[in-house]
Amino acid sequence: MASPETAKRIAENWHRVNTEVAEAALQAGRGADEILIIGVSKYVDVDLTAQLFDAGCDALGENRPQNLWGKADQFIRANRKATWHLIGHLQRNKIRRTLPCIGWLHSLDSLRLATALSEEVVAAGVQLNVLLEINVTQDVSKTGLPKADLMQVAEQVVALPNLHLRGLMAMCSLESTSEVARREFAEVREIRDTLQAALGSQVKLDQLSMGMSGDFREAVAEGSTLLRIGSSLFAGVM
């Protein structure tokens, strides 16, 4: 179990990150209430994740479905009502076990996955918010849809029942400069706007999942609504 000192440090980190995000929003001419901080707990155990939740972060992100399952189950037992975001790759054979745990999937990266997801959410009688993951840097080592395929996949995802396409998710280049990060995030926003214009009023692409601990300021400046923050929230305790 995490110590009181650890809980205090995490609470301080949570307050600091919120302040920094609010300052970044102000500089961008935006309101802090337009931006949701997702606490990415992929590197910490359930006790530290619970400390972050208790500090006020009720939107939590995990990369691996297997880690998500265990944490979500323990949160339910402890009556901690978090909204879980799966931000890593989801294999089709893990959909059924994962679906009851999550409210959002950020990493929809193929039509095959979308079709399988739709079948499962229809069978379960639930709805799921999804984001298309785009490989905006065209780095072959990264997951995500190529820019050239995005429109076609988006049009087909929108037609699938019980999936709500809400926007895009992307990562900027590794070790990029602030200027490069802003340019890549701006490109994602522009691609989203193009998709929105093409799809029309049948869908509302109001979410952009962009920005992590090292580049959230650039992401906020370019319209991010969902920040995936991990290391800054657990600084000093990992």
Domain map (residue ranges) of the chain: 4-229
User: Measured between alpha carbons, how far is 230 from 44 in angstroms, rounded to an integer?
Assistant: 9
pLDDT band at residue 138, thresholds of 50, 70 and 90? Answer: confident
Mean pLDDT, residues 152-180 taken together: 94
Residues 195, 183: Cα–Cα separation, whole Å: 18
Mean pLDDT of the chain: 95
Q: What is the 3-state secondary structure (H, E, C) of 60-96?
A: EEECCHHHHHHHHHHHHHCCCCCEEEECCCCCHHHHH
Q: For residue 213, give both structure tokens.
A: 């601990």
pLDDT number for residue 147 = 92
If you average pLDDT over residues 31-43, what whole number do you get? Answer: 96
Of all residues in the chain, what percent are helix, strand and coil, respectively (each to 5)? 50, 20, 35
pLDDT for 3: 87
Average pLDDT over residues 117-128: 97
Mean pLDDT in residue range 112-130? 97
Contact 95, 123 (CB under 8 A): no
Q: Looking at the chain, how many residues does it have?
A: 238
Q: Mean per-residue pLDDT for 190-194?
A: 97
| Tokens at 2, concatenated | 């995490």
Q: Indicate left, alpha or beta for 203 from its phi (over 0: left) and psi (-120 to 50: alpha).
A: beta
pLDDT at 200 over 90: yes
Handedness of CA 195, 201, 206, 209 (dihedral sign): negative
Model confidence at 175, pLDDT cuts 50, 70, 90, reads: confident
pLDDT confidence of residue 1: 64
> 159 in helix, strand or coil?
coil
The percent of residues in the chain predicted with pLDDT above 70, rounded, is 98
Task: Output the pLDDT for position 202.
Answer: 85
Using one digit for the tens of pLDDT, what is the confidence trace for 60-85? 999 999 999 999 999 999 999 999 99
- Structure tokens that stand for 233 in this block: 């929230």
Percent of the chain with pLDDT over 90: 91
Residue 140 has pLDDT above 90, yes or no: no
CATH of 4-229, one of 3.40.50.150, 3.20.20.10, 3.30.450.40, 3.80.10.10: 3.20.20.10
Tell me which residue of 116, 117, 115 sits closest to 102, measured CA to CA. 117
Fill in the amino acid letter for 134. I
Cα–Cα distance for residue pair 66/105, rounded to 1 Å: 15
Residue type, 144: G
Strand segments (E) across 81-229: 83-86, 102-108, 128-133, 163-169, 207-209, 226-229
Distance in angstroms (rounded) separating the CA atoms of residues 154 and 199: 8
